[in-house]
Amino acid sequence: MSNLLKTGFLLGLGAAVSSKEKVEKYIDDLVSKGRVTPQEADDMYHSLLKKGEETEEKWNTRSKEKVGNFIEDLNLVSKDDYKLLQARVELLEEKLSRLEKQDKDSDIDEDHQ
């Protein structure tokens, strides 16, 4: 599963880099042909970057939700749930150890009487 996520990430990164280069080339062409001023090109570029970042943020949110649903469908324990269970087990082990020590101490006391 980790390889699948890594591959997806790399595909997305490759598409983003390719798209950014295409946008830069397109805007440079517009400026060189005199269709937009350098200032308009800069504004256009920053506007497109902002929209791209917003889209990426939405995509990341949806991806996390989908991965979470996928993990839930597989009945896997989340990291947070695992940590909570681990803490509970440690607490119970400490309690058991104290009870065993108390029981052992009371057996020793009974043997001395």
Max avg pLDDT among 5-14, 64-73, 76-85, 103-112: 76-85
Give how far Cα 97 sits from Cα of 2, 68, 92, Å: 39, 37, 8
Residue 112 scores a pLDDT above 70: no
Residue 1 scores a pLDDT above 60: no
pTM of the complete model:
0.44
pLDDT at 16: 67
Q: Which amino acid is at 106?
A: S
Q: Is 78 left (phi over 0), alpha (psi -120 to 50) or beta?
A: beta
Other C-beta atoms closer than 10 Å to the C-beta of 42 total 13
Domain residue extents for the chain: 1-76, 77-113
For 32-89, the pLDDT digits (tens) are: 999 889 999 889 888 888 887 888 888 888 988 988 888 788 888 888 999 999 999 9
- Residue 65, both tokens: 């939700």
